[in-house]
Amino acid sequence: MKQIQTIEIPITGMDCTECTQHVQRAISGVSGVQKVDVFLSSEKAIVQLNPSLAKMSDIRTAVKEAGYSVAEAQGDAATPNAALGEFSRRILTTLGLAFGAIILLVVAGEWLGLLDGLTEIIPFPIGALLVLIGGAPIFANVIRATLKRQVISHTLMSIGTLAALIVGEWTTAMVVVFFMHIGNYTERLTAEGARRAVKDLTALAPQTARVEVNAEEKEISVSEVKLNDIVVIRPGEKIPVDGEVIAGHAAVDQSSVTGESTPADAGIGSKVYAATLLKQGTLKVKTQAVGAQSTFGRVVKMMEEAEAHRATVQQFADKFSTYYLPVVMGIAALTFLFTRNPLSTAAVLLVACSCTIALATPIAMLATIGANAKHGVLIKGGKYLETLARADVLLIDKTGTLTLGKPTVTDILSFNGMDEASLLSYAASADRYSEHPLADALRRAAHERGLPLHDVSNFESIAGMGVRAILDGKTVSVGRRSLQEGTSIPSQVPALEAQGKTVLYVAVEGKLAGVVATSDTLRSEVPEALQKALFLGIKKIELLTGDNDTVAASVADALGISYRAGLMPEDKIQIVREYQSQRHVVVMVGDGINDAPALAQADVGIAMGGVGTDIAIEAAHITLMHENWMLIPHVISAAKRTMRVVKGNLGFTAAYNIIGLALAAFGFLPPMLAAALQSIPDLGILGNSARLLKQRHHA
């Protein structure tokens, strides 16, 4: 079987979404390449290939022939001398704007008849030469694309420039060149805005770590830190790795990961995460994940790859752009055929700009994704925003989602001669390797009572039912009553369940030894959040839980929603499919562990509290790094607002182009004005989409 490898390739020279399409087509044409995703925001391509067939030299050549380049390493994508590069850009921008101001004065003077003799002072050949020199980089890209049978946005403008020169208006041609440069500059600003969210996020990660070796501390690059290394962090420093605290106590600002501004306490046994800030105290941390494998690394990767999940409306825009340019050229040809007016024909070519269509969707999507990432809401791509804006069914898990996920043991009832302490010790020991919140409650209760945890073997976690293990040579099972076949319900249990408590049955060697009741607290913000979700267009809210009917009813009744109880993980998937078969758009909210299958099946899966949870980030389409239910209506509102902006962008672009083409074709829009106006859609879309960067965070 052929071995497929995935590699990341840094790409330089991309300024707009059209560029990513050119690079994607170029790399896709290399033999052995299976799949290509090109990202404007992170300036890279992720390529799946057969290494025995696809050579890096061939990929590099293909990218170069498309008009772009491959950096030697990820760091090479940056300008070698950033300060000098920024200074140069400012100088060039200043000169360009000054040059443009002079040209505009000349044009205004010509229109007012004040400078009629000026163009006569400069011979036409010199003017034409200035046009060719000023537009050389753009014309070179157009020629390169034409030779590869590609039509790009500047193809129209270049043809318009040529048309202006043919009719002897070199000043108009110069204005066209100037506004092509302005358009490029605008697109670079737009692209940089898309990249900034990723760059700002990446900049939060520390580059070095202080590692303890043989009781001595040594500062090394984060890339050199290995698993189980002991890392020392002092006040005011960023934590460089994910790990467990083995010494010290501190307050940690986790806002870079969770969006929560209140510092969290960290002591021995606590988990801490890379890129979070130590506010007070000193910690020693045993490394569990570093770099791309850390929680922060996975967050950055999600942000970088969000562009790959394009919304349907974005895919439409991409396809429209492909056909739009030939259509405009056809309109220009018809204009010349019927009017025989080269100026009107040139104006048609100049007023059209396909980049506005291509920019209308991705810039808005990336703005929303970036703004929400700052508040700990990770959205995997634009298509999930578009889907969420249409959602009408909300399905919710209970434990760890509607509730705080930190249940406490409230009642212990022992039978058949076993005392309460032994029962709790057995139950907590059998559950010692489980990650379920109820297992954590048992372990905490045993610890608070000073009870020992026994060694166990043959530990088995049975999805949706409980656990089974060998303890002191005996088989101990803890979980739902269905796990203990033939067990009758003790008389005290109905009263406990009527109080909304979850009852765990503990059996030893198949015989019921007792029950342990636990209680969890409903999140205080849930009622308000659900009301806001209904206001935003959610028509049906349903609780899905593995708990019994009595417990589920007490929670659902308190919230005024429907419920289904006693569910296994596969039952939740079936319910999601049931709603989907009725053409509902389903949102599933869970804790990202036992709900992972349902999260993946839903149209939009939202994982609550994804810090440090691989399953949450992988299975869900949206991950809330902070456990705050008000983020649910917030992200629904953000999705709807984003789609309104996208539709506004597309509507504005369509209206502008239709009106502009009509005015140009009928001779009401001269080439010079058409050239000046073609940058307006870019600026309009950029300004409209920029509003999404200032989305208010709902605490």
Q: What are the φ and ψ backbone dihedral angles of 549, each rounded to 5 degrees?
A: -65, -40
pLDDT in tens, 612-625: 566 666 778 898 88
349 or 288, greater pLDDT: 288
Q: How confident is the model at residue 70 (pLDDT cuts 50, 70, 90)?
A: confident
What is the per-residue pLDDT for 87? Answer: 39
What is the per-residue pLDDT for 387? Answer: 92
pLDDT in tens, 578-604: 999 999 999 999 876 667 788 888 999
User: E strands, 256-302, where?
Assistant: 264-266, 271-272, 277-280, 283-289
Which residues form the catalytic set?
397
Q: Average pLDDT in the 430-436 region? A: 84
Would you say 400 and 608 are in contact if contact means Cβ atoms under 8 Å apart? Answer: yes
Would you say 630 and 699 are in contact if contact means Cβ atoms under 8 Å apart? Answer: yes
Query: Taking Cα atoms as reference points, which of 392, 393, 389 lies closest to residue 645?
Result: 389
Using DSSP, state whether 424 is helix, strand or coil. helix
CA distances from 226 to 207, 240, 241 (A): 14, 12, 10
Radius of gyration of the chain from its Cα atoms, rounded to whole angstroms: 31
Amino acid present at 222: V
Would you say 313 and 365 are in contact if contact means Cβ atoms under 8 Å apart? Answer: no
What is the per-residue pLDDT for 120? Answer: 67
491 or 315, greater pLDDT: 491
Q: Classify burial at 338, counting beta carbons within 10 Å of its beta carbon; exposed 0-12, middle 13-18, buried 19 or more.
A: exposed
Is 664 a residue whose pLDDT tops 60? yes
Domains of the chain: 5-77 (3.30.70.100), 84-199+305-364+643-694 (no CATH), 209-239+241-289 (2.70.150.10), 375-403+522-639 (3.40.50.1000), 408-519 (3.40.1110.10)
285 or 325, greater pLDDT: 285
Would you say 142 and 154 are in contact if contact means Cβ atoms under 8 Å apart? Answer: yes
Would you say 504 and 423 are in contact if contact means Cβ atoms under 8 Å apart? Answer: no
Is 92 a residue whose pLDDT tops 70? no
pLDDT in tens, 473-522: 889 999 887 777 667 788 888 888 888 788 899 998 888 889 999 988 88
Using DSSP, state whether 271 is helix, strand or coil. strand
How does DSSP classify residue 691? G
Amino acid present at 625: M
Is 409 a residue whose pLDDT tops 80? yes
What is the per-residue pLDDT for 197? Answer: 56
Q: What are the φ and ψ backbone dihedral angles of 80, each rounded to 5 degrees?
A: -55, -45
498 vs 552: CA distance, rounded Å: 10
- Interhelix angle 342-351/631-665, nearest 10 degrees: 170
Place of tokens 């073997």: 457
**What residues does 38 pair with on adjacent strands?**
45
440 vs 428: CA distance, rounded Å: 8
What is the per-residue pLDDT for 77? Answer: 38
What is the per-residue pLDDT for 549? Answer: 84
* Other Cβ atoms closer than 10 A to 61: 14
Is 302 a residue whose pLDDT tops 90? no
Which residues, other chains included, contact 257 with Cβ-Cβ below 8 Å and sequence gap of 6+? 273, 275, 276, 295, 296, 299, 376, 611, 625
What is the per-residue pLDDT for 582? Answer: 95
pLDDT in tens, 447-463: 999 998 888 888 888 87
pTM to 2 decimal places: 0.69
What is the per-residue pLDDT for 594? Answer: 66
Query: Taking Cα atoms as reference points, which of 597, 580, 575, 598 lies closest to residue 588?
Result: 598
Measured torsion, CA atoms of residues 640, 646, 651, 652, in degrees rounded to the nearest 10: 120
Would you say 114 and 106 are in contact if contact means Cβ atoms under 8 Å apart? Answer: no
Query: Taking Cα atoms as reference points, which of 450, 362, 411, 378 lies closest to residue 642?
Result: 362
